[in-house]
Structure 1
């Protein structure tokens, strides 16, 4: 490294979950940026989870879409920006002219910056004249949006992250916070270390990593959240724990909400039976909630992703309204956002049933306010199509053009094969992305290269309403451009004015000015969302913007004031200033399990991966924790349905199927099964869990039922299994099943098949000719085959094959051979033997990704050195000492090892 080159450190924001951690990127020309946590950012105070810490490993240009591409006579070819934009603008204009504004649509993403989101919504709702613009935030946060609007009158999260540290009880509902929001979870644990009276309650059907640190875990039956919280409301009212004065002064609708709760949930014994939990644990939760003033109840996808998700949100909020625990330090309901800018998207009307600046499509005066501010020719007059309905309309032909920006619906939407059919039929499919090959880009007629994290410039808003800058520290690669720029160019080509923005700062200023435009003059009263204190920033002020929580107002002296908490004065955003209790009648999921589909599928995220792995999939470190898709189910269910741990199985629903390896994670109740969401057609042959997911949606929010799909499981019979490590990508599609992850200097494939898998097959897969330096071992009788391709003395690829149930050698020791410039003679021998005795025992699956510590290594140290706490494990092995994401798993291993020692 040339230390004389100039160094620049840029403060920006992480592109992963909604915690919105501050990041510093230290850049020296010609080197990989060094990523660290920003100690000055209030969200994370310098800490990062393992995904954030590995961001520097994901910034290469492999697989990037670097120039526009258009489809011509069925084939894709490179095009200029002018040609591509003309095709998009011409296609949209001609379809609108012939079929009307509702024949076109945009489908966007919480990965967009607020400025991108704003321009896209202005284009569709104010100029095209249709509200057919929805976002993948529909899939994760729209039930919270709907619940907030019903209760508070506006989509508002009342509290801030500090409340988790000030609370005496934190209730985590449907949230594997330890994996999905790790830095925030770390704040909770550190607060409990400082104040041991802080109790953590986890309500989740699965025993997740979060439960390892819980004081109480309620493993409720999937879909019974409303019963649980209606029961709590009834209990609080019956035992005199409500704040009658607060309810009388600041709310309405309590009697109807209590009547709905009492109808089915007044008896804790009955609630416990319905929720399938121990009555003693249920009462412990109810009594603890009742006795604790400072309670934060945080909820995420386990609540939102349901056909009754909005009612679940309101059932939780009702309990806080009854006790007056809202708007003050250390208390309140808290929606944990899934994506980095889902909140920012909501601010600009990113959902199909919203207008920008928290104004409502169903209020004529607010529609006119937005139209007049934009000086637009029209304004959408009715809600547009929500995500699931949007792609149904595409398949039916009523929507004839769709522009998909920064998301991969062919993987992420429920009934994902329906999305494939829809895009296959669509007259014009436009995709803006940073990646050239995704499941969705394969159906594009026009591909537009977008800027990625580190290249684009703008703002994001996290779960606590904190607006932060995402700053560029890398040059734009190839011909990639900002998403807002591409939308503006299409708008101008369609003859629309109002899109002459010079940069992100100008867009943000317009966004801020709209937030205060005619605010307070409509029938709903003054909107809480208000950025009037941020208007008029020039480029220098925008570039220097520090994280700040909205609403951001300017006082009479001109000072700008952020707002950490809302509703401290008991005034809400409904016209009469009162919050509303919402009567929530409990109801079961729409599709029940039955004899044909006897198991309930739950889906979710993994600790070290993000969405469809287009970013995290580039990091070998992140791949080590969970290198394959899996199906997690109870051992008794596995026995009942004839599938074995470690072998492949097929999971089937009424909508689709997937294949993955069976595991017994220990956290699944009988009758349930869990599968992760991350694998796509680019990383596995048949592991898109979205293809199975039932497309039923919440009737209020339109959010799909990702947490309860009836499925069956059966063996996926193969004759052999194998793995391949190769420096170059391979064509391995002619096998029964395959998955792919990135290794350190190689690509790892896990394969399974039927028929012969020996020398000829291996040479074909590895693309090796007869003259290559090829070493092999073949035991046909035992079904064992091993081979390696050596090029100029260096290991180029290797393949190991065994019968279906036979063990394959550990992968970890082979990884080191790919780091050597020359193979030693002993290395060749160990390759054929399938073991490397000189390297010691197999470290096992990765637990700590930061320091590469495996499960077997950790368990051995716990046993031999008598380790009794996560801190002791960290002191011994470093594991858990960096980002802390693995600490819950370390805690679990300690319990397992101590239990094993006690029963030995």
Structure 2
């Protein structure tokens, strides 16, 4: 019997919760389980973390450098990058080049990218995809506190008597934190949860109150709360002398109009009274607050209420921003944003610039902020930026006005892309693609949403010629002539320099100071346990601001006078609907990693549009039909999901699908490049749109053991356990369906079975080779009615009756997957409810395990139970 592989402690690569994971690589692949000793998750994992082992295969991996599509060696690749950037700077100045980086980078990678661009190239043109998710929080924090400081810790979520979740579908986007709150509420039933969101999301399942506010009206709502705080005498008099701006903020709030929220006055008053009567309040906010042209003001409206009441920096109370990426916080700390310097120093502060320049022995430092993300790609389009290095992100999909961004990248003189694959919309446009190590292969640190620094450690060997990002950046820095400044051999060396630099920031009285870690040996760095910053002689870990001391010049917090501003994109007869965008439970960003997992793809395998029944009826849109969504900037085709989870006049679409898996569903191509004037963050949740039925002449469902690419206006492909599945729709009928099917799958020499009904317009074909199913196609003039999940499991098996499209009467049909952690289908759950008399989510979990891991499917389980009538007991 072989010994169990040793476990490696690491950190999950998905959201900003920063869950600890235990990894063991063996013959069966990578085993992943939650680390019970990590303070972020205490052993819990969400569906994405649970299924990480399915995402680390080498299919599609970039294993060597490519230049203009041809393989080259590393020496040539790095010299070409260094020479091109150096020549471009010499001819056009330092602002003619830019880096666009990512929260997928480790802190050591991020630090070197920032050092190279700001300290040695001499430009501020480095920005990060965190600009798209958390920049408004950074701006709000700095305006109120003087620094970008998260005051509290995750423990506050469990210590609070009231948790307000605003602009955050925590149950799906940060499931482990949500389950910590649910567990706390179960232990203390008097604890209350309020959800503020235009949609009724999975997070509402555990809420005592849901406020379905109108999109963009957050400032008005929290201004109303501020007025109620003042009128009910809830201002903290002892904290008042630590806060400036209260009177002006209150006057602006009193001038506001609460009717713009669309919330019934009685419901709003119930929220105000609950908030004011509960001392221990934590207000959690995320993308629904940040992704707005008034996102910074929304953040400050929340902060105003906590500052007015002194409910900040003490156990169980405070504003709490949850971040979207594993190292969004690390990027903020190292100066990965165009308008900041490392260690929370300010680019506009000459003392900070001089101190950093002296520490780095840098030849030049920019005196002003660089171009933020939207501005950066506009500068690429105009030719101002001539050389661009993109690291671990996919802006051709994720940026607003994505089609224009895609064109800008394609037209740039020189584009480098560091990534783990060439199979992204962005990498396909690059001149140079550099193979980077992936999660599970690289080593360094990340910082989560409550300031905890954790190690990512390698559990897998480095494949092919892949190199860590820090090593790529250091070598380019050396080849550009700055050998001493980039003479690093390990991430531990980089971390020590970074920690030492933070001591200078601490000397300026700033919050970020981890100088206590500057002397870590390589061994101590390797063994570093989760550590919450700061770590210095003055302060280690804990909370900020409970003592009333802030990082502003006056030492007092600043409340801001704020006024509600409606979304910039105005509704009009041509575009009468408000389009909201966001995430779904089991996918991550543009699915470069999660799309590899059959389990994660099984829950929602196709892009969709949530729309209200009244809006569907008014436009003749039927359930499961395809919908064409149009804005002034772009067009998408999505599957209709008709539901009262959204309000009339509002629609919602997820942002994950790309040109690789659903070209017509690149939803950010529909979003205008409108940004918050303070933070530069795009307004991604309030586009003006119209919808109409998509005029498809035929629909199809297809399965195949091999990947395939339909040539139709609409298709969406997803991974299965044995191959691929796809939804397809066309606007013109093929002349010969059998020939079309063979061409679609690229199959030669296989036996074809087919059924055709010309009167009904249906066609079915199945391809077998050596008795095993290779592919099948099901065509209909209306959305195809077949058992999709059953069919998706047939490829590679003996399936003589595949053309029926249905499971045999003697076999159970599990139905669509609802619980991704354990692969439990809807029909399995319904059967257990009926057969075993299950009457609670807990009972379902005990019988089937569904909902017992990450818990993010528990709201859907509750919804299933609610739809089943309770049988009366027999007399």
What is the TM-score when the length of structure 2 is the normalising length? 0.98
**Is 1:643 equivalent to 2:614 in the alignment?**
no
Give deviations 1:745-801, integer Å, cap 9, x for gaps: 1111111113136211111112233x4222221222222212111111211111111
**Is 1:503 equivalent to 2:490 in the alignment?**
yes
Counterpart among 395, 402, 408 of residue 422 in structure 1:
408
Separation of aligned partners in 1, 2:795 and 2:715: 22
**Is 1:259 equivalent to 2:251 in the alignment?**
yes
Partner of 2:745 in structure 1? Answer: 766
| Residue correspondence of structure 1 range 3-402 to structure 2 within 5 A | 3-4=1-2, 7-28=5-26, 30-71=27-68, 76-248=69-241, 250-265=242-257, 271=258, 273-402=259-388
How far 1:808 moved relative to its partner? 2.3
Separation of aligned partners in 2, 1:838 and 1:815: 18
How far 1:605 moved relative to its partner? 0.4
Structure 2 CA distance for partners of 1:901 and 1:25, relative to 1, 3 Å: farther
Partner of 1:875 in structure 2? Answer: 846
Separation of aligned partners in 2, 1:670 and 1:539: 58
Separation of aligned partners in 1, 2:747 and 2:549: 72
| Residue correspondence of structure 1 range 699-778 to structure 2 within 5 A | 699-732=677-710, 734-753=711-730, 754-756=732-734, 758-769=737-748, 771-778=749-756
How far 1:860 moved relative to its partner? 4.2
Separation of aligned partners in 2, 1:179 and 1:319: 27
Instruction: Provide the secondary structure at the position in 2 that maps to 1:838.
Output: coil
Give deviations 1:414-443, integer Å, cap 9, x for gaps: 000111121122100110000111100111
Partner of 1:574 in structure 2? Answer: 552
**Is 1:605 equivalent to 2:605 in the alignment?**
no
Q: Is the 8 A contact 1:722 1:808 kept in 2?
A: no
How far 1:898 moved relative to its partner? 4.2
Indicate the larger mover: 717-726 or 213-222: 717-726
How far 1:9 moved relative to its partner? 0.8
Indicate the larger mover: 568-577 or 450-459: 568-577
Counterpart among 684, 690, 693 of residue 671 in structure 2:
693
Instruction: Provide the secondary structure at the position in 1 that maps to 2:664.
Output: coil
Structure 2 CA distance for partners of 1:87 and 1:33, relative to 1, 3 Å: same
Separation of aligned partners in 2, 1:264 and 1:834: 58
Counterpart among 520, 542, 555 of residue 507 in structure 2:
520
How far 1:875 moved relative to its partner? 2.0
Separation of aligned partners in 1, 2:331 and 2:202: 30
Instruction: Provide the secondary structure at the position in 2 that maps to 1:233.
Output: helix
Structure 2 CA distance for partners of 1:245 and 1:890, relative to 1, 3 Å: same
Large movers: runs of 4+ above 6 Å: 899-902
Structure 2 CA distance for partners of 1:389 and 1:761, relative to 1, 3 Å: same
How far 1:640 moved relative to its partner? 1.3
How far 1:859 moved relative to its partner? 3.4
Partner of 2:608 in structure 1? Answer: 630
Separation of aligned partners in 2, 1:863 and 1:594: 49
Q: Is the 8 A contact 1:801 1:808 kept in 2?
A: no
Q: Is the 8 A contact 2:807 2:813 kept in 1?
A: no
Separation of aligned partners in 2, 1:448 and 1:768: 33
Q: Is the 8 A contact 2:343 2:505 kept in 1?
A: no
How far 1:496 moved relative to its partner? 1.4
Separation of aligned partners in 1, 2:566 and 2:504: 43
Give deviations 1:333-357, integer Å, cap 9, x for gaps: 0001110000000110010000001
Separation of aligned partners in 1, 2:268 and 2:839: 30
Separation of aligned partners in 2, 1:623 and 1:762: 24
Give deviations 1:800-857, integer Å, cap 9, x for gaps: 111224x42112222343363xx2xxx41x2232322235464332211122222233
Instruction: Provide the secondary structure at the position in 1 that maps to 2:767.
Output: strand
| Residue correspondence of structure 1 range 804-883 to structure 2 within 5 A | 804-805=782-783, 807-818=784-795, 820=797, 823=798, 827-828=799-800, 830-840=801-811, 842-863=813-834, 865-883=836-854
How far 1:866 moved relative to its partner? 3.9
Structure 2 CA distance for partners of 1:99 and 1:27, relative to 1, 3 Å: same
Separation of aligned partners in 2, 1:601 and 1:99: 40
Partner of 2:475 in structure 1? Answer: 489
Separation of aligned partners in 2, 1:22 and 1:782: 55
Q: How many residues are aligned here?
A: 870
Structure 2 CA distance for partners of 1:901 and 1:467, relative to 1, 3 Å: farther
Counterpart among 602, 612, 621 of residue 599 in structure 2:
621
Counterpart among 556, 561, 564 of residue 586 in structure 1:
564
Give deviations 1:177-224, integer Å, cap 9, x for gaps: 000000000000000000001100000000000001111000000000
Instruction: Provide the secondary structure at the position in 1 that maps to 2:809.
Output: helix
Separation of aligned partners in 1, 2:265 and 2:77: 62
Q: Is the 8 A contact 1:417 1:691 kept in 2?
A: yes
Structure 2 CA distance for partners of 1:362 and 1:482, relative to 1, 3 Å: same
Indicate the larger mover: 863-872 or 250-259: 863-872
Counterpart among 839, 855, 865 of residue 894 in structure 1:
865
Partner of 1:268 in structure 2? Answer: none
Unmatched tracts of structure 1, length 5 or more? 266-270, 556-560
Partner of 2:770 in structure 1? Answer: 792
Structure 2 CA distance for partners of 1:4 and 1:899, relative to 1, 3 Å: closer
Structure 2 CA distance for partners of 1:38 and 1:713, relative to 1, 3 Å: same
Q: Is the 8 A contact 1:813 1:839 kept in 2?
A: no
How far 1:387 moved relative to its partner? 0.2
Separation of aligned partners in 2, 1:207 and 1:605: 14
Q: Is the 8 A contact 1:631 1:661 kept in 2?
A: yes
Separation of aligned partners in 2, 1:351 and 1:901: 61
Separation of aligned partners in 1, 2:842 and 2:548: 43
Separation of aligned partners in 2, 1:898 and 1:670: 28
Q: Is the 8 A contact 2:579 2:689 kept in 1?
A: yes
Separation of aligned partners in 2, 1:420 and 1:535: 41
Separation of aligned partners in 2, 1:840 and 1:340: 43
Separation of aligned partners in 2, 1:469 and 1:852: 30
Q: Is the 8 A contact 2:705 2:796 kept in 1?
A: no
Q: Is the 8 A contact 1:65 1:434 kept in 2?
A: yes
Indicate the larger mover: 256-265 or 832-841: 832-841
Separation of aligned partners in 1, 2:109 and 2:869: 52
Q: Is the 8 A contact 2:657 2:663 kept in 1?
A: no
Give deviations 1:56-112, integer Å, cap 9, x for gaps: 0000000111100001xxxx1001111111111111111100110000000000010
Partner of 2:516 in structure 1? Answer: 533
Q: Is the 8 A contact 2:333 2:342 kept in 1?
A: yes
Indicate the larger mover: 680-689 or 774-783: 774-783
Separation of aligned partners in 2, 1:538 and 1:640: 67
Structure 2 CA distance for partners of 1:160 and 1:900, relative to 1, 3 Å: farther
